[in-house]
């Protein structure tokens, strides 16, 4: 590594693509179809992301390799999710740091509940960011596998064991994202609305929080935003519906019909480059209602045709990785806003001589 290019970076892109930048101006996009290469240059370390975006590629996150241990697999590279649509593109990491610093402050004043809750939120923010990385990895493995089996020149739908892993990772994200949602609800109830003092009750889920908030008249900009995103077409309402679908009704890949992965070709520098998509039902509430009413199962022949995709019913879906990535941005941004409403200021953890027991060894790696 050098001062101008301090890290090797592996940039995760939409559809399972990767872009490597090995501490110099050269960047390479992969995997590609046989007999093709996609190499371009970026003039400066900090311009890598804008260079990629100028080529109409969407960044999911970045792995930073800063030392030989990480390069050799003896340590994990640093992972950071990247959300261009947010005011701070590193909002997931910034939110996790904010909540960790709130935990430091709570420790200083010996507020055990706030210390515990702040650290849970910080931890869960990083968990959700890691879940998006895992999903991106599954997409990448799926893409490599299909290119290894056959050099496809046409767009196709297919299913294999990697497809199952992609949908499994989507479901894992949905569940972990809703754990974070409920942690935030617990904080809002205890430290913004303060239900415990008003009604002597503890709230630890979003559904319980909303049930009580709707009975009260609260003039607060954050509460107004919360009510907006949990109603109508709100993104947090949709997240809860997806989670409820997979927890209470059916796996996401067979909620309405059997879902196949899509192998697609997109334009890149006047060439065709392959990507993977794993569709999700666009309306999870509709899928849940159909299952709960048992209307799906009234005619067995129609059921089989529906699940096999043999009916004329229009199929509207969203890509799983795109959905989870964008939802991570929304959720991290909301968590940051909630953290700013804390009644104590965040502080950075410092270590002095009195905190060290025994000797201290610094080893450069």
Give 44-112 as a DSSP string: SGGGHHHHHHHTT--EEEEEEE-SHHHHHTSSPPEEEE--TTSSSTTHHHHHHHHHHHHHHHHHHTT-H
Judged against a pLDDT cut of 60, whether residue 290 lies above it is answered with: yes
- Which neighbouring-strand residues pair with 61? 12, 81
Distance CA(141)–CA(163), nearest Å, equals 10
Residue range 258-283: mean pLDDT, rounded: 88
Taking the CA atoms of residue 99, residue 101, residue 102 and residue 104 in that order, the dihedral angle to the nearest 10 degrees is: 130
Which pLDDT belongs to residue 157? 87
Other CB atoms within 10 A of residue 335 CB: 27
Residue range 69-85: mean pLDDT, rounded: 94
Tens digit of each residue's pLDDT (9 = 90 or more) over 243-257: 999 998 888 888 777
Which pLDDT belongs to residue 365? 41
Domains of the chain: which residue ranges?
Answer: 90-340
Which pLDDT belongs to residue 315? 60
Distance CA(230)–CA(234), nearest Å, equals 5
Distances (CA, A) of 207 to 90, 114, 183, 232: 29, 21, 12, 15
* Three-class secondary structure of residue 342 per DSSP: coil
- As to burial, measured by CB atoms within 10 angstroms (0-12 exposed, 13-18 middle, 19+ buried), residue 204 is middle
Which pLDDT belongs to residue 215? 85
Which pLDDT belongs to residue 251? 85
Distance CA(30)–CA(22), nearest Å, equals 14
What pTM value is reported for the model? 0.90
Banded model confidence at residue 258, pLDDT cuts 50, 70, 90 = confident
- Asked which of 30-39, 232-241, 327-336, 352-361 is least confident by mean pLDDT, the reply is 352-361
SS (H, E, C) 106-148: HHHCCCHHHHHHHHHHHHHHHHHHHHHHHHHHHHHHHHHHHHH
Banded model confidence at residue 1, pLDDT cuts 50, 70, 90 = low
């Amino acid at each position: 590594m050098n001062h101008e290019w301090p890290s090797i970076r592996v940039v995760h892109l939409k559809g399972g693509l990767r872009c490597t930048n090995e501490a110099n101006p050269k960047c390479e996009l992969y995997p590609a179809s046989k007999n093709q290469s996609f190499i371009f240059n970026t003039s400066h370390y900090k311009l890598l992301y804008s260079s990629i975006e100028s080529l109409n590629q969407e960044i999911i996150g970045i792995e930073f390799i800063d030392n030989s241990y990480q390069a050799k697999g003896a340590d994990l590279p640093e992972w950071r999710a990247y959300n261009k649509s947010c005011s701070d593109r590193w909002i997931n990491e910034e939110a996790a740091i904010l909540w960790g610093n709130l935990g430091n402050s709570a420790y200083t004043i010996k507020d055990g509940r706030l210390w515990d809750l702040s650290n849970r939120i910080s931890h869960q923010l990083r968990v959700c960011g890691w879940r998006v990385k895992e999903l991106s990895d599954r997409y990448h493995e799926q893409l490599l596998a299909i290119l290894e089996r056959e050099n496809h020149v046409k767009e196709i739908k297919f299913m294999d064991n990697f497809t199952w892993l992609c949908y499994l990772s989507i479901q894992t994200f949905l569940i972990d994202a809703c754990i974070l949602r409920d942690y935030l609800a617990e904080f809002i109830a205890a430290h913004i609305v303060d239900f415990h003092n008003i009604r002597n009750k503890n709230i630890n889920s979003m559904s319980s929080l909303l049930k009580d908030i709707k009975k009260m008249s609260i003039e607060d900009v954050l509460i107004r935003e919360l009510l907006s995103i949990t109603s109508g077409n709100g993104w947090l309402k949709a997240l809860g519906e997806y989670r409820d679908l997979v927890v209470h009704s059916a796996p996401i890949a067979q909620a309405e019909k059997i879902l196949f992965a899509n192998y697609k070709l997109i334009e890149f520098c006047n060439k065709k480059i392959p990507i993977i998509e794993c569709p999700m039902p666009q309306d999870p509430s509709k899928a849940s209602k159909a299952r709960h009413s048992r209307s799906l199962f009234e005619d067995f022949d129609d059921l089989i045709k529906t699940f096999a995709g043999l009916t004329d019913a229009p199929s509207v879906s969203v890509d799983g990785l795109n959905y989870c990535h964008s939802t991570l941005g929304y959720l991290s941004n909301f968590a940051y806003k909630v953290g700013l409403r804390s009644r104590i200021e965040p502080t950075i953890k410092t270590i002095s001589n009195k905190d060290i027991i025994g000797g201290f060894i610094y080893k450069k790696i």
